[in-house]
Chains A and B, each alone.
Chain A
Amino acid sequence: MDATIATLRRNSLDVAAARRRCLGYRRRILDISQQVGALHIAPAFSCTEITDILYNNLMRRETDGGYRDVFLMSKGHGCMIQYVILEEQGVLSRSDLDAYCKPNGRLGAHPDYETPGIAASTGSLGHGLGMATGQAYAEKLKNSDVLIYCVLSDGEFQEGSTWEAMMMAANLKLDNLIAFMDFNDFGGLERMSDGHPAFYPLVPKAESFGWEAVEVDGHDEAAMHEAVMARRGGRPMLLVCRTVKGKGISFMENVPIWHYRSPNKEEYIQGLKELASAPL
């Protein structure tokens, strides 16, 4: 078995604990939404489980507790979920999050490379996979076993630059690169399947570009875990993760305005109620 794949074997996943964590993250993001005028809630809720499984299960740690593998948030506007997880891990502090988007804070609506835990400055869509390809190649040159995990939105797969990276990563046989597509079928404006039917099918496109690709439920951590564990290797892998934009709060699910809007007091309370009664 390929060494990089062998190092992927990990403790099995505690699905109930993951659900509890994700509810907590969504609650924390709702709380933060009450201190600023706007933040990308629905994009963060869409990739909550993806980000959770990476930080809390798939990514390996060094003996000092720091992460050995790399998490690169290509869909920069989804960074709120990354911030709250980094807060829980003690990489960012509570005061960092309290100062989110404020004049003396260091956290803005997009991740900034200077910040602890942030692998690249993103926010302009379609840059992440190129940088992740460079990072994965660098690890190869260094003969390291570090894995580069990259989370992209489906919208980013409308950018030509993402497909340039797809081709190059396959050319370089970067089996240390694993990308997760947060496939919620929404951009900022409309459903992709309505406006851009030629966007589909996704798995065969990625395969024809030389990637190993598989479609999974992006809110089902067990399914994502299994998919990564079943990886054949020898080339980069893409998980096309079926998700719901705004997942977890009924009135936000698949409703475009929640791409970039903070709930008012009533909506906030309603949201908290829904999270409180969500099945574990």
Chain B
Amino acid sequence: MRNRFADTFYELGKADPRLCVVVADISPAGSIAKFRNEFPRRFVNTGVSEQIMIGMTAGMAQRGLKPFAYTIATFTLYRPFEMVRDDLCYQNLPVTVVGIGGGVTYSTLGATHHAQEDVAIASAIPNLSVVAPCDPSEVEAATRWCAAQDQGPVYLRLGKAGEPDLSKAALDPWVFGKVRRLREGRDVCILSYGPIMKRAFALAERFEASGKSAAIVSVHTLKPLDREGLARILQTYAHVVVIEECAPNGSLAMRVKELAWDTDVTCRIDAFTLKDAFIHCYGSHDDILDAHGLGVSELTARLGLQ
């Protein structure tokens, strides 16, 4: 994801001189390093100083530029939180705040590096759009949209590197603010976003194995939420499953259940989120998801599947 973001940004940056990137002492992936060499003045490294990273992007946007702030998710969003809220969101400036390693991607680095509530927190701020692509090709589409838009600030939440392409067979194009069908199915619909999408695919296989046809939908835009598209899904399917890499409070799961209540639907909803807890253990990304109770076998059991 990181590399596809960098490639796309480089290509767009060559064409649009307003695009800049401000990082806080993070080594820029692949093509961003190329961007830095070719356009050294449009690449700023503030050092280990995230508040000025966000503050500067606000000022640059106020004077007509299109800056992207870029570092590890916890340090783009949490560390300079009030700068994001007041400088970017209150003033509604078209700045893209890129968080790499969203969710618990940085598994061995511990809770200081786990952006386990990033989507919930970002979604709570007025004016901030929240986009969480599930694979490199969604990253590319989202990056293009971020660079072209000037409606306001965006939190663009990425994984790290090496994510598989999951949306190759998608039935819909990527459109900001619209849910996107990645796979067709009749009996169950699985909603997910971000790198944990790989587990949505694993669950779909388990459903198929027990004779149920499962659709998968990428809810890549968490804010504004596609309430219409989601309401249609809740009306169409007898069973909806949400799986996401976010703490429960303020999660997609919570909002889907709220929508179900608002629209009087009675389908079965199973929601699987991260725990509302700091996990004091380590290992791979998969190990941490398992520790949060999101192991595929555990979920299969909770869903009553074989």
CA distance in complex: A268, B11 (Å): 39
Q: Which A residues touch B255, using CB under 8 A?
A: none
The interface size bin for chain B is 20 to 34
CA distance in complex: A190, B26 (Å): 9
**A15, CB-defined interface residue at 8 Å:** no
Name A189's contact: one of B27, B52, B109 (CB within 8 Å): B27
Q: Which A residues touch B145, using CB under 8 A?
A: none
A158-B49, A188-B25, A189-B27 in contact; A103/B283 too (CB < 8 A)? yes
B47 near A155 with CB under 8 A, answer yes
0/1 interface trace, chain B 286-297, chain A, CB 8 Å (1 if under): 010001000000
Q: Which B residues touch A232, using CB under 8 A?
A: none
Interface positions, chain B 36-58, Cβ under 8 Å from A, are: 45-52
**B63, CB-defined interface residue at 8 Å:** no
A76 near B48 with CB under 8 A, answer no
- Which of A21-29, A59-67, A121-129, A168-176 lies at the interface? A121-129
CA distance in complex: A101, B110 (Å): 9
CA distance in complex: A101, B106 (Å): 11
B112 near A76 with CB under 8 A, answer yes
CA distance in complex: A137, B48 (Å): 27
Name B48's contact: one of A104, A106, A109, A126 (CB within 8 Å): A126
CA distance in complex: A106, B110 (Å): 10
A interface: dominant SS: loop
**A160, CB-defined interface residue at 8 Å:** yes
Q: Which A residues touch B192, using CB under 8 A?
A: none
B280 near A114 with CB under 8 A, answer yes
B291 near A155 with CB under 8 A, answer no
Q: Which A residues touch B75, using CB under 8 A?
A: 124
Q: Which A residues touch B265, using CB under 8 A?
A: none
**B111, CB-defined interface residue at 8 Å:** yes
A106 near B283 with CB under 8 A, answer no
Name B110's contact: one of A38, A110, A125, A195 (CB within 8 Å): A110
Name A103's contact: one of B45, B79, B113, B291 (CB within 8 Å): B291
**A233, CB-defined interface residue at 8 Å:** no
Name B112's contact: one of A103, A104, A123, A199 (CB within 8 Å): A123
A195 near B45 with CB under 8 A, answer yes
B48 near A125 with CB under 8 A, answer yes
| Residue in chain B with minimal CB distance to A79 | B110
**B267, CB-defined interface residue at 8 Å:** no
**B74, CB-defined interface residue at 8 Å:** yes
A102-B283, A105-B282 in contact; A158/B48 too (CB < 8 A)? yes
0/1 interface trace, chain A 152-166, chain B, CB 8 Å (1 if under): 000110111000000
Looking at the assembled complex, report how far the CB atom of B27 sits from the nearest CB atom of chain A, in whole angstroms. 5
- 8 inter-chain pairs at a CB distance below 8 angstroms, sorted by A residue, are A76-B112, A123-B113, A155-B47, A159-B49, A160-B51, A187-B25, A189-B27, A199-B47
